[in-house]
Structure 1
Amino acid sequence: MTTFEERATVHAFRDDSLGEHDAVGLAAAIRRGEVGAAEAARDAAERVRAVEERLHAVQTHVDVPVSRAGSAAGALAGVPSFVKDNTDYLGLPTGHGSAAFEPRPARRHAPFTRQFLSSGVTVLGKTRLPEFGFSPSTEYETGEPVRNPWNTGFSAGGSSGGSAALVAAGAVPIAHANDGGGSIRIPAACCGLVGLKPTRGRVVTNDQSGRLPLDIVSDGVVSRSVRDTAAFLAAAEAHWRNPRLPPVGLVEGPARRRLRIGFLVDSPNGVHADTATRAAVTETVARLERLGHTVEPVELRIDPRFTDDFLTYWGLLSFLLGVTGRTLGAGFDRHRMDGLSRGLREAYVKDWRRTPGVLRRLKRTREAYAASFRGFDLVLSPVLAHTTPPIGHLSPAVPYEELIERILAYVAFTPVNNVVGTPSLSLPAAAATEDGLPVGVMFSGRPGGERTLLELAFELEADRPFRRIQDA
């Protein structure tokens, strides 16, 4: 039974150098000399200590010498942040949320880490994730889960749950996240944050996914304001821009252009959204219409085998980790992988002969997606099929067959964008659940369409500012 103690709201906002600043606001205060970068790092570290006992969001803490700071010229220079623990940061171990091996200190920064640091952030450590990022909830067979700061009896989402919990709690303004099936957008929805999965190739390619037959992973951030996500993307583009994509630049507010937006409330694979989630979408439709946009129902026609195919590909990833895991660290033992990872691998081994057809069909999904977008600028949908579950509902200790049914009934909207490679943005809806938890809505765009997504997000944020945890 969940105790009253476990169902508290936890945040770190206080009268210190971080105040209630978002990342852009704090960076501006540092540039003006009102706050020192070292002071901001110390205060953020203190905020992390204040909430960590309740949230369990941090994998590795570090001291904050000057050498760990990002570019002094970056747009977010001096802003304290964290890197997710599936991405190499020089000198820190990369554990991937797994107990199957002993991680070694990284010998270099991952390419995305360098791009992240180019924004100027100061890294205070690494955040927790479920094993290898497979689960939409940051929970473990043994050990404390990452808890949702809005209501600690509930999940913070996954796989970027540690990053989302720290940002939502006000410990840091912005943190690294990545998304291979919803892992930026899911925790953003659970924790009331902005979470943009960029277009495939918008940021530098993830080390591991770049070697896969289908790259489904994009790196980015979770933040409390639209302008923080926009500022990060502009800073990342200043470090490296993909010439095959249209530039985004710095988006600083809404556009005058009115959009034609399609919307759906049930997933293409037939999963029906729950009442609270449907209400969040329909309320957002009404807001969009009031703001002058044209909103119409749309049907996303994808292959009916998409869910099974994505699950097979998911299993392939677990199988490959079981084969190559010794490269991650000492003493790797695939039998020590958690129940979800083992179940995915075992299911794949039984059905591996489907792999060529699965890959062909998944790659063809972009054609169906493009056809559904004809005449629309964006598509609105739920992020998840139901509201944030309590701790334990998606634990890897749940028997695999039951757990995978629960996951598929929850994560029914986000994976399409990973397969197609299109940008997709989670935003907090106006309403909350009876338990005080945020509900997210998702906007998906055309390849390279991040500017349109951010412009609309600015407009919705200005129309009705996002709920603040310190007011809960």
Structure 2
Amino acid sequence: MSSYEDRDGLALADLVATRKASPRELLDEAVARARAVQPRLNPISQLFPERAEAAIAEGLPHGPFHGVPFLLKEIVPLAGTPTWAGSRLLRNTPPAEQDATLVERYKRAGLAIFGKTTTPEFGMAASTETSLTGITRNPWDPERTSGGSSGGAAVALATRVVPMAHGSDGGGSIRIPASCCGLFGLKPTRARTPSGPLVGEGWGSLAISHVLTRSVRDSAAMLDATHGPAPGDPYCAPPVAGSFLDAVGRPPGRLRVALQTAPFNGRAVDPDCLVGLQDAVRLMEELGHHVEPALPEVDWPELIDSLWVLVATNVRLAVLLANGGKEPAPGIVDTVIQDAVEFARTLPGEACPKATRAIHRHGRRMAAFHEKWDVLMSPTLAKPPVPLGPQHTNNPDLAAYREAVLSFSPFTSPFNMSGQPSMSVPLHWTPTGLPVGVMFSAAFGNEALLLSLAGQLEKARPWVQRKPPLASAA
């Protein structure tokens, strides 16, 4: 289907609505593309087109994405399929008995779900390299990372297997692969989309799900279709006024933009990322926005310690639940996961509430910062996509692994801790053809402002038609 790869999700849904294509034709195209790209880049962990075929035959709901093929990240329950979370420990887990609430909403939107995408073990890495499913490679350069932990989603999207794919973000895991693969990636406000029914929140409130997309409007329309609390949710995001999709076409006005050029942890930023940032600053100024250097008050040592406590304790719980309450035997999980499990076992009882208090303090400081500034702008990553290897979750050199993560992705996690919406926008490519994202973050609850800005940037500097060298040719 010649027009498939050049259309976003809403455009494919329009083909179905106008009877220029059928859901089955779109599904067949997506499955063929998935099978073509899998041997080269490995973005898919499970492929089950027969489930989507059955859903189409039964009749998909007539939502905004009626008939559009879709992939879930390998962390979310889909009834009738196992949830591996990138872990050998879960390889033989029984199929889920019920859908996640978010999956129910995806189905109501009319999506045809036909597979799951790769993720590092328990989503705990900024690169998608793990012992269960192997290495997921970047279509712009297969020797470099696709990012993580939604790396498989990003690769499937960049190679035109699907027009959008589910991802989640607990420390940057939507924005990191979006930057690595030349895509748009929005992390919504804490609790904007549901995490249930099996959990009330992800990673102690750090993690939230949404989609990676090529177009801004797909991200907005999907947020319209999925946002809002479900019965029993412990808390919810601030209410929204109007449609997120409408916000994309609405001028954001003249914004007060704070510029951050160096990360809070003091790591160096690659010149290519700084060139991309400065180019984006010029574009913002041409669009009429006021940009100047300014930083919020951030206690980085306290934040990174708190992040590690919340992630490690939640990962330990996941491992124990998967292992019948027992400590994992040596080698049953990758070294990075084993390290987290052992670290969490040594923590005192007050560690988690202390970490939660710290991220809440950070959120209040960021709220005060955004009373003056509409947006905080920075590189998404400190480096373009890096070579594969050091961030593999089975790296025996844990010190090297930690330094690889901290030097690659030091910008994203503060916004998971504050709960703010934050997006990576694909505004730059290096001279060697690697994508570099620019990150914009707004006040808690203000995704609409980010989507308005993203729509303006997309119009001024279109990126949707840029394709990686290893894009699917199915």
- 1:273 deviates by 1.9
1: CA distance, partners of 2:341 / 2:72: 27
> Is 1:276 aligned to 2:264, yes or no?
no
Q: How many residue pairs align between the two structures? A: 456
Q: Which residue of 2 aligns with 1:29?
A: 15
Cα distance in 1, alignment partners of residues 354 and 237 from structure 2: 31
Structure 1 residue identity aligned to 2:184? V
C-alpha change, 1:187 and 1:208, in structure 2 (3 Å) is farther
2:310 aligned partner, one-letter code: Y
1:317-332 to 2 correspondence within 5 Å? 317-326=314-323
C-alpha deviation, 1:291, in angstroms: 0.6
Unmatched runs of 5 consecutive residues or more in structure 1: 1-14
Show CA shifts across 1:304-339 (max 9, x none).
Answer: 3211221222221222223222369x9975751111
Q: Deviations over 1:71-130 (max 9, x none)?
A: 431111111010111101111111000001322111111111111222211111111100
Distance apart, 1:253 and its partner CA: 1.4
C-alpha contact (below 8 Å) 1:136/1:158 kept by paired residues: yes
Hey, what's the Cα distance between the residues in 1 that align with 2:212 and 2:109? 14
| 2:438 is equivalent to residue 441 of structure 1 | yes
Aligned AA for 1:297? P
Whole-Å separation in 2 of the counterparts to 1:25 and 1:212:
32
TM-score by length of 2: 0.90
Q: How does 1:289-304 map to 2 (within 5 A)?
A: 289-304=285-300
Q: Does 1:67 align with 2:51?
A: no
Equivalent in 124, 129, 134 of residue 119 of structure 2? 129
The amino acid of 1:43's aligned partner reads E
CA distance in 2 between partners of 1:138 and 1:470 (Å) = 21
CA deviation map 1:401-446 (0-9, x unaligned)? 21012111222111111111111111102x3124421001111111
**What secondary structure does 1:18 align onto?**
coil
- The C-alpha deviation readout for 1:207-257, integer Å capped at 9, x for no partner, is 565257831111100111111111111222489796842235123414152
How much does 1:390 deviate? 1.1
How far residue 70 of structure 1 moved from its aligned partner, in angstroms, is 8.1
Within the candidate set 344, 354, 358, 2:355 is matched to 358
C-alpha contact 1:180 1:415 (8 A) present in aligned 2: yes
Matched, 1:218 2:208: yes
Question: In angstroms, what is the RMSD of aligned CA positions?
Answer: 2.4
> What amino acid sits opposite 1:292 in the alignment?
G
1:298 partner letter = A
Bigger shift: residues 307-316 or 53-62: 307-316
Among 144, 150, 154, the alignment partner of 1:154 is 144
| Structure 1 residue 87 corresponds to structure 2 residue 81 | no
2:67 and 2:129 map into 1 onto residues whose CA distance is 31
For residue 363 of structure 2, give the secondary structure of its aligned residue in structure 1. Answer: helix
Partners of 2:452 and 2:418 lie apart in 1 by: 22
In structure 1, the residue matched to 2:28 is 42
Segments of 4+ in structure 1 off by > 6 A?
238-241
Amino acid at match of 1:360: R
Q: Please state whether the residue corresponding to 2:144 is helix, strand or coil.
A: coil
C-alpha distance in structure 2 between counterparts of 1:208 and 1:184, whole Å: 22
Q: How much has 1:17 moved relative to structure 2?
A: 5.5
Q: Displacement, 1:359?
A: 2.5
Residue among 78, 84, 88 paired with 1:99: 88
- Which residue of 2 is the match for residue 427 of structure 1? 425
Going from structure 1 to structure 2, the CA distance change for 1:470 and 1:130 (only over 3 Å counts) comes to same
